[in-house]
Amino acid sequence: MTVSRDELAAFADGELPAGRAAEVAAAIEADPALAREVEAHRALRKRLAGHFAPISQEPVPDRLADMLRPGAAAEPTGVVDFAAERERRQPRPPVPRWRWVVGPALAASLALVVLFPRGDGGSAPYAGDRLASVLDRTLVAEQAPGADTRILLSFRDGDGEFCRAFSGTGGSGIACRDERGWRIETQGEGSAGAQTEYRMAGADEASVLARAQEMASGPALDAGEEAAARAQGWR
């Protein structure tokens, strides 16, 4: 007698009709390989059930239980006042997600024009006037789609400095604000020798963003945080 894998699983779940279940049980008895497979199914079930069991054993949060208590959420008419319920409910702080911040910028920036000015030498280069003014002034949310140099996102690094990932034809990179100005931390690969005027946004920005994620100490700044950072001069 052959037993299909589906049947074995159904057997382990107690879902086979009685007659067939007896046959399968006999086959399993005779074949250690089948027995092992059934055992694996049972072990998996046990593991899953065990994994999720604690959730059903912990106390239910009040905001959920209150919705169901008589009088708590229902008005005398029996109509539930959801608006009031929603107000009472504790809002979870919004979690800024990278893709919301990054997505539109990536999608919109096909090509980016202008040089990437350098600072006055030294070990760590600093942004030149032009780039620095973009870094100082531009908010991600406000920049024009066709801007020469675009800010991809802003964040704080491990030292608490504000850093901004940017992209322009001259190259992309990350600059962090210290007492001297915007220190260039990272430049996208190939930014130095870009010959063509138009390049696809892509690999360059992706590597810069990947680097930003490594450097950042928290999520990207949202629009409000960015505006606040600008107001205090990124320091």
Partner 1 sequence: MLDLLPRLRRFATGLAGTPADGDDLCQMTLERALANRHKWREGTRLDSWVYRIMRNIWIDEGRAATRRRQTFVADEAGLAVGAEGAQEPAVELSMVDRAMQSLPPDQREAVLLVMVEGYAYKEAAEIVGCPVGTLNSRLVRGRDALLELLGEVQ
Site residues for partner 1 per CB under 8 A: 5-6, 9-10, 13, 15, 36, 40-41, 43-45, 47-49, 51-53, 55-58, 60-61, 63-65, 67-69, 73, 80, 82, 85, 89, 92, 95, 97-100, 102-104, 106-107, 202, 206-207, 209-210, 213, 216, 218-220
Least distance in angstroms from the C-beta of 101 to partner 1: 9
Pick between residue 30 and residue 107 the one whose CB is nearest to partner 1: 107
How many Cβ atoms from other residues are within 10 Å of residue 85's Cβ?
15
Closest CA to 8 of 73, 57, 143, 20: 20
Query: How many other CB atoms are there within 10 angstroms of residue 68's CB atom?
Result: 11
Burial class (CB in 10 A: 0-12, 13-18, 19+), 114: middle
Q: Shortest approach of partner 1 to residue 92 CB, angstroms?
A: 7
Q: Of 85 and 178, which has the nearer Cβ to partner 1? A: 85
CA distance 70 to 114: 66
- Shortest distance, position 180 Cβ to partner 1, whole Å: 28
Nearest CB to partner 1, comparing residues 147 and 220: 220
Q: How far is the CB of 233 from partner 1 (least distance, A)?
A: 25
Would you say 44 or 124 has its CB closer to partner 1?
Answer: 44
SS3 175: strand
10 Å CB burial of residue 173 (0-12, 13-18, 19+) is buried
- Shortest distance in whole angstroms from residue 108 CB to partner 1: 10
